[in-house]
Structure 1
């Protein structure tokens, strides 16, 4: 079945503009040849009846299962649950299809196909052997991998390349809107793949921003977007900056312990930078034999990306050049980061600054976090 037939049968309910509007003609090129419309029976057989032992992830819209197709291919099957009143889940399903069938990049997840069976929706992806970045960096001991400096560097650069592609090479440009560790998947070679495009939006006709309802994950939300719904590519840049600090430090965005209370990674990085003790942020697991100059540069780029004023943040292509040292950042002034205080402040439209505290709430609009790990 052609993609256009699947598209029209999948989505007959109007909703706000999403990436479904990117390209309403049939996708062209390699991705079109590889896209498959699976039957429900095929996917049921592949996942052994969607058995609990095959479940590898779970999110707000449904579960993800490991499957083996008839040809021997190992896949991840995302089963979406649809909210009939709001059609949440349906919009994300179509957004994911229309985005990924028109994009191809080493650092974006590959969508193999879909399935529509009554009210059930399924998305089929290449299986990622090393789960999500959240799992191997911050998960339980059985899931963690001791990442050295070179691995962290390669993962950071890969994510940056994927975002630069979305922001500047694709026409019209795409804002992902939910960049976080659980949405970065890793293949057997630890090559990062940006995943979960259910919340993504396009910037058509060279517009610089769009206004939309706030969605994403607290801790990664750019303050101006959280407070006003003004979405730009700098929204993703902020999220990437937080992610970069996570990768280097091996610490969660927000942490809590009984003795010291809540800890905020962006705040900690800023304090260490101002105290000229920036290398204390580097994860001890990295060991002692890492290039300190590179580590300082990566942390500084992270802080540049999370500056409170969006106009001061670099574009993704420039951030990538900073990371690779193709753009010298020696002497570049870094201003204080912006933080989202809490969900209540977002609702009240209150301005938040570095001194604000994060909410313990983790999501404004939850989505399945990963194709290969529980969110």
Structure 2
């Protein structure tokens, strides 16, 4: 972590405290509260009690428009706001709404009701009780009286005191601004360990209780190791870019190949994803889930290391080529094995781990293929854990258009059945060799799901199979996949099978139930009473790209 001198030292902390103290007594329209009073945002003095900061909050009055100041050493006790009181009580870091981490965080209380703040470093909330909950009154901050140290409003002496305080505030602000400018200029030429990013990135030490991951779990890499593995993150090793960073191919000292994801420097959501991937997915083991090899958090860098997948993502193998390009054609038996493996991975996440994990973005680009075309579901960056038989609501609908279950925009309840719907669309894409949404096709075929339902109603389902496969297709298997895909995409979530059931059907352990002769119709409303049985986690993925000669190619395509 950065030394205090790199962060401005005691003089900068004193300047800030003086500034906010002057503002608190001089500006009557809002109050500024230094969390914990004279004490920094640090471990409570009595670590056996979780109420120390709450007691401080109970002795203060907060109104809309007031500000909280979390004063701490950057990178040591960074602040996060949680969604609910239950998340606060359980220290559920997967329910983070916003993270902060500048070393001195000023948070404006912009709504009435409860606000829940915790230290975002795992273990500091649950075991060290570094957290505080604050109730904000709905009344306007303008009704707050000016501190008694200034006096009651209205008197001439009070007015003089206020004017003097305001002038003092301006002077202090100018001095503080000059000090900040000087420190930033100096740090520009100093060690990168003095983080200007969130406190998460300034650490050299792990952010998670790695002892809980087991001896064969992911490990901590040094930045030097990963820089050497990726040829100093050379463009020649770049595999792809995503919303939260870039992915590079790397070779470790033991000659094993890895994919190294570098979180974008200005991506706060990427930092949340980093914590989720390392602390949650590091403990999950399944043969069809991408294995997390380790991580690095130093030199202002957040890096996550995975097994390298030489055949890239599934979409490169099943989608038709763009004009002027030639894509290899994935054989039918490989497609069927991919769907079978993915059904097992999702069944494991939904029902067979100690908590329920919901992917929320099942699609071909999020599925990676090894050299033998085994499928791996990857990148749990937005993961959150929910206990089985619990439901969680979201103000933002997560996922990709074309794969979203139809009830999601109305109920805002993500459940295992929403993953089942996405898997059904994926299965159609794999079998038909078409995109879920393709505006270049005839009007009746733009939406793949609509088109397949129409073909089913006309008893022409066989014609939906990817024509590039020719005779290289098992007719019974392709019919089975199309039927289970339509059942998985049933508009009523209660009528969709579980992923455990889908896995058993694809493995041949169960027979497929009858599907409706025509597409069912169901209406949704904002007051829908649909009651899902479980709720869980989220994902986005970066993926490498490659080809392999073992895959069947069209007659007019050159060998890889």
Q: C-alpha separation between the residues in 1 aligned to 2:272 and 2:258? A: 23
| Residues 240, 57 of structure 1: alpha-carbon distance in 2 compared, 3 angstrom cutoff | same
Q: Answer yes or no: is 1:209 the counterpart of 2:391.
A: yes
Q: Answer yes or no: is 1:180 the counterpart of 2:363.
A: yes
Question: In the alignment, which of 273, 287, 292 is matched to residue 106 of structure 1?
Answer: 287
Greater displacement, 113-122 / 307-316:
113-122
Greater displacement, 261-270 / 243-252:
261-270
Q: C-alpha separation between the residues in 2 aligned to 1:237 and 1:324? A: 17
Q: C-alpha separation between the residues in 1 aligned to 2:314 and 2:451? A: 21
- Quote how far apart the aligned CAs of 1:277 are: 0.6
- Quote how far apart the aligned CAs of 1:62 are: 0.8
| Residues 262, 318 of structure 1: alpha-carbon distance in 2 compared, 3 angstrom cutoff | closer
Q: C-alpha separation between the residues in 2 aligned to 1:18 and 1:281? A: 45
Q: Answer yes or no: is 1:304 the counterpart of 2:487.
A: yes
Please say if residues 303 and 334 of structure 1, whose CA atoms lie closer than 8 Å, have aligned partners that are also in contact: no
User: What's 2:136 paired with?
Assistant: none
TM-score using structure 1 length: 0.82
SS in 2 for 1:185: strand
Q: C-alpha separation between the residues in 1 aligned to 2:368 and 2:77? A: 27
Question: In the alignment, which of 76, 82, 90 is matched to residue 271 of structure 2?
Answer: 90
SS in 2 for 1:257: coil
Q: C-alpha separation between the residues in 1 aligned to 2:326 and 2:261? A: 21
| Residues 55, 131 of structure 1: alpha-carbon distance in 2 compared, 3 angstrom cutoff | same
Greater displacement, 106-115 / 192-201:
192-201
Q: C-alpha separation between the residues in 2 aligned to 1:244 and 1:258? A: 19
- Quote how far apart the aligned CAs of 1:19 are: 4.7
User: What's 1:358 paired with?
Assistant: none
Q: C-alpha separation between the residues in 2 aligned to 1:184 and 1:11? A: 36
Question: In the alignment, which of 289, 293, 312 is matched to residue 476 of structure 2?
Answer: 293
Superimposed CA distance per residue, residues 225-284 of structure 1 (whole angstroms, 9 cap, x where no aligned partner): 233321111111111111111111111111122865971111111111111111111111
Q: Answer yes or no: is 1:279 the counterpart of 2:462.
A: yes
SS in 1 for 2:343: helix
Alignment of 1:225-240 (within 5 A): 225-240=408-423
| Residues 367, 165 of structure 1: alpha-carbon distance in 2 compared, 3 angstrom cutoff | closer
Backbone CA RMSD of aligned residues? 3.2
Q: C-alpha separation between the residues in 2 aligned to 1:76 and 1:325? A: 35
User: What's 1:268 paired with?
Assistant: 451
User: What's 1:77 paired with?
Assistant: 260
Q: C-alpha separation between the residues in 1 aligned to 2:326 and 2:217? A: 31
Greater displacement, 169-178 / 222-231:
222-231
Question: In the alignment, which of 335, 347, 350 is matched to residue 164 of structure 1?
Answer: 347
Please say if residues 361 and 540 of structure 2, whose CA atoms lie closer than 8 Å, have aligned partners that are also in contact: no
SS in 2 for 1:295: helix
Superimposed CA distance per residue, residues 44-68 of structure 1 (whole angstroms, 9 cap, x where no aligned partner): 1111121111111111111100011
Q: Which has the higher contact order (CA 8 A, sep 6+)?
A: 1
Question: In the alignment, which of 122, 128, 136 is matched to residue 317 of structure 2?
Answer: 136
Q: C-alpha separation between the residues in 1 aligned to 2:76 and 2:542? A: 22
Q: C-alpha separation between the residues in 2 aligned to 1:169 and 1:368? A: 22
Please say if residues 79 and 120 of structure 1, whose CA atoms lie closer than 8 Å, have aligned partners that are also in contact: yes
| Residues 326, 77 of structure 1: alpha-carbon distance in 2 compared, 3 angstrom cutoff | same
The alignment covers a number of residue pairs equal to 342
Please say if residues 20 and 94 of structure 1, whose CA atoms lie closer than 8 Å, have aligned partners that are also in contact: no
Please say if residues 257 and 307 of structure 2, whose CA atoms lie closer than 8 Å, have aligned partners that are also in contact: yes
TM-score using structure 2 length: 0.56
Please say if residues 96 and 198 of structure 1, whose CA atoms lie closer than 8 Å, have aligned partners that are also in contact: yes
Q: C-alpha separation between the residues in 2 aligned to 1:224 and 1:193? A: 27
Q: C-alpha separation between the residues in 2 aligned to 1:335 and 1:207? A: 32
SS in 1 for 2:283: coil
Alignment of 1:38-77 (within 5 A): 38-77=221-260
Please say if residues 306 and 337 of structure 1, whose CA atoms lie closer than 8 Å, have aligned partners that are also in contact: no
Q: C-alpha separation between the residues in 2 aligned to 1:258 and 1:100? A: 39
Q: C-alpha separation between the residues in 1 aligned to 2:295 and 2:393? A: 30
Please say if residues 246 and 542 of structure 2, whose CA atoms lie closer than 8 Å, have aligned partners that are also in contact: no
For structure 1, which runs of at least 5 residues remain unmatched after alignment? Answer: 1-8, 340-345, 352-365
User: What's 2:80 paired with?
Assistant: 14
| Residues 20, 105 of structure 1: alpha-carbon distance in 2 compared, 3 angstrom cutoff | farther
Please say if residues 380 and 540 of structure 2, whose CA atoms lie closer than 8 Å, have aligned partners that are also in contact: no
Q: C-alpha separation between the residues in 2 aligned to 1:115 and 1:28? A: 18
